[in-house]
Structure 1
Amino acid sequence: MTDRHLIVGAGPVGRHVAALLAERGSDVTVVTRSGRDTGIAGVAHAALDASDTDALTRAADGADVLYNCANPGDYTQWERAWPPLAAALLAAAERSGAVYAITGNLYPYGPVDGPMTEDLPDVATDHKAVLRTRLWADARQAFEQGRLRGAVEVRASDYMGPGIGANGHVSRVLPAALRGRAVTVMGRTDQPHTFTDVADVARTLVAAAEDPGSHGRTWHVPSNAPRTQAQALADVLAAAGRPRVRVRALRGPALAAAAVVSPLLREVRELIYQWERPYVLDDSSARARWGLEPTPWDEVCRRTAGL
């Protein structure tokens, strides 16, 4: 019998998960509001509002895994968008009997001293982190109470790879850098920071979803050795055959002033600690459990440059 998978969200992670599953012959459906075609051979598409619990439950009927690859488009509206969406996803997984596999991030840890491991507590207090913390805590509780057949969350650092656009700190400034223009990044340019390829997020998410022994906890996506923002951008430019550009830092009083008139920068400013100190992911648990290795850095840079 062919395994069946329902993916909510057609962003970079959702598309990579769909492509990975379709390539091996799984029955894959991608759900978005528009139902737009991802262009991936063998993948079906459905148009529905994933915050509609009944509609999502019907779509998930018979699915082995329900993948939460959603990413509400307006970063300033997470308080409005995430609670009903998260509630519907959890309810649909519970009602359908599907394993619930969540694409997470590192926000719940808050500021850290030293590499991030999965046993760090989710203690962040900024409002976006509180939302993400609640999403996983609710799913874990449902699993521990026996209401979910399986639940797991994989957490990655800032994305690289194709299709990231303005949602990635390197890809956001890349178009200007490719034209030889100086660029501005958030926080310091000289601190080591982990970057994660979206293809590796997809591989880890699928591996975790299909490994019952891994459920009930979070896992970190295998990622390459940390680079500074300036190094990561220079490496992508080199992969594209382009020279380095000047990299400016937006931080401190300048960021505070800009945030007064920019709702997006006000949101980003709450998370600026990620770029003011080393922000390094420990991925040893996932590597050991599934034998996964990150996409080689040179390839990550070529993929990010669109080559």
Structure 2
Amino acid sequence: MSERHLIIGAGPVGRHVAAELAREGRRVTVATRSGSDLAIPGVDAIALDASDPDALSRAAEGVDVLYNCANPRDYTAWETVWPPLASSLLTAAERSGAVYAITSSLYAYGPVDGPMHEQLPDAATDHKGRLRAGMWRDAKRLHDAGRIRAVEVRASDYVGPGIGQNGHISRQLPAASKGKTAWVFGRKDVPHTFTDVQDVARTIVAAAADSGAHGRVWLTPSNPAKTQEDALNDVFRAAGIAPVPVRSMPRALVAAASLVSPLMREINELAYQWRAPYLVDDSAARERFGIEPTPWDDVCRRTAGVTAVTL
């Protein structure tokens, strides 16, 4: 009988993980609160409140791999949403015996000098970075105790289809298509790593399947860093959009907006990511899994199609 895989979350990463597994002929179920059908051949959908440990444990019974691809819709509500959800996922992983595969960001590292790599400590001081670091710390503790099998794959800012307004690049497409200026956070002229969601999916599937890869973090193979201006122009070109001015939002304006807007407050706290080079050394994952990133031209074409995707 083919392996069974349960994916929590049907955002861009969850959808790509489901499609990747379905192509391999795996039995795949995607759980969301609504239970909406993803319309991916071979993929089932169920309605589930994954923060309920008993309900999630029942759904995970007999499952080989449990994927955490959740992404809370409200960026300002992580402290409310993530703790019960993360705890429930750990409980379900322990009860079911499934490999627990976590998709995550680079937030846990905080500001660093030079490229990020897996041997760096989780040293974030902002609340989002500390939260994500704590989620992995809790999973690693249970893994080291022999109570679960866990692995985490981290990625930089997402590009590719389905990202929409949640992506620093894709959110600019609708306005740019009307000839409007593209306003970016931080500097527009420093290199920044972008990661295609397809490559995140390929990496987490490979890491979950490789028992020797468990118990640690892996960084998703990504293309060489691009400045925000260059990345935007590349995607605009792929979308057939005429060039538009790319300008940096004044720091004083962002700081002032953060005083009244909870979302801008969150963004301002993480603004270090856009004010200095934000680079990834993904050599360990490339060597371990034999994965190379999707070619940049293909990434741009995939991202350019995001305006036709409904989240």
Q: TM-score range by the shorter chain?
A: over 0.9
Q: Is the 8 A contact 1:171 1:304 kept in 2?
A: yes
**Which amino acid in the other structure matches residue 77 of structure 1?**
A
Deviations 1:115-134 (A, max 9, x none): 00110000101111111001
**Superposition pairs of residues 21-40 of structure 1, within 5 angstroms:** 21-40=21-40
TM-score normalised over the length of structure 1: 0.98
1:92 is paired with a residue whose SS is helix
Deviation of 1:275 (Å): 0.2
Q: For 1:247 and 1:237, how far apart are their aligned partners in 2?
A: 11
2:131 is equivalent to residue 119 of structure 1:
no
Letter in 2 for 1:42: G
3-state SS of 2:276 partner: coil
1:282 matches 2:281: yes
Write out aligned runs for 1:164-243 (5 A): 164-243=163-242
Matched residue SS, 1:117: coil
Q: Which amino acid aligns with 2:80?
A: R
Q: Which runs of 5+ in 2 are unaligned?
A: 307-311
Matched, 1:255 2:254: yes
Amino acid at match of 1:105: S
1:92–1:251 distance in 2 versus 1, CA, 3 Å: farther
Structure-2 residue corresponding to 1:56: 56
Supply the distance in 2 between the matched residues of 1:16 and 1:209 (Cα, whole angstroms): 15
Query: Shift of the alpha carbon at 1:245?
Result: 0.9
Give the equivalent residue in structure 1 for 2:6: 6
Provide, for residues 95-149 of structure 1, a one-character-per-residue CA deviation record: whole Å limited to 9, x for no partner: 000000000110011001100011000010111111100110100110000000x
Spell out the pairing of 1:138-177 with structure 2 (5 A cutoff): 138-148=138-148, 150-177=149-176
SS at match of 2:240: coil
- Structure 1 segments unaligned to the other structure (5+ residues): none
Report the secondary structure of 1:103's partner residue: strand
Give the C-alpha shift of residue 239 in structure 1: 0.8
Q: Which amino acid aligns with 1:303?
A: R
Match of 1:196, SS?
A: strand
Post-superposition CA distance 1:67-103 (Å, at most 9, x none): 0000011000000000000000011001000000000
**What does residue 99 of structure 1 align with?**
99
Deviation at 1:261, TM superposition (A): 2.0
Output the CA distance in 2 between the equivalents of 1:249 and 1:259: 16
RMSD over aligned Cα, in angstroms? 0.8
Deviations 1:191-224 (A, max 9, x none): 1000000000000000000000001100000000
- Equivalent residue letter for 1:47: A
Deviation at 1:291, TM superposition (A): 0.9
Q: How far apart, CA to CA, are the structure 2 residues paired with 1:170 and 1:241?
A: 15
> TM-score when scaled to structure 2?
0.97
Q: Equivalents in 2 of 1:290, 1:120: separation in Å? A: 20
Aligned partner of residue 189 in structure 1, secondary structure: coil
* Alpha-carbon separation, structure 2, partners of 1:166 and 1:79: 22
Confirm or deny: 8 A CA contact 1:222 1:284 kept in the other structure. yes
> In 1, Cα distance between the equivalents of 2:82 and 2:171?
23
Structure 1 residues 62 and 290: alpha-carbon distance in aligned structure 2, compared to 1, 3 A threshold:
same
Residue 108 (structure 1) aligns with: 108
Q: How far does residue 162 in structure 1 lie from its aligned partner after superposition?
A: 0.2
Q: 1:178 offset after TM fit, Å? A: 1.9
In 2 relative to 1, CA 251–101 (structure 1 residues): closer, same or farther, beyond 3 Å? farther
Aligned to 2:309: none
Q: Which residue of 2 aligns with 1:69?
A: 69
* Contact 1:187–1:249 (8 Å) recurs in 2: yes
User: SS at 1:102's partner residue?
Assistant: strand
Answer whether contact 1:140 1:151 (CA < 8 A) is retained.
yes
For residue 173 of structure 1, report the CA deviation from its aligned partner.
1.4
Number of residues of Structure 1 aligned to a counterpart in Structure 2: 306
Aligned AA for 1:210?
A: A
Deviation at 1:18, TM superposition (A): 0.3
Paired amino acid for 2:260: V
**Aligned-pair CA distance for 1:251:** 3.9
1:83 corresponds to: 83
Match of 1:295 in 2: 294
Equivalent position SS for 1:100: strand
Q: Secondary structure at the match of 1:125?
A: coil
2-structure distance, mates of 1:293, 1:23: 18
- Among the aligned pairs, what percent are the same residue? 66
**Structure 1 range deviating more: 34-43 or 237-246:** 237-246
Query: Is the CA contact 1:188–1:251 (under 8 Å) kept in the aligned structure 2?
Result: no
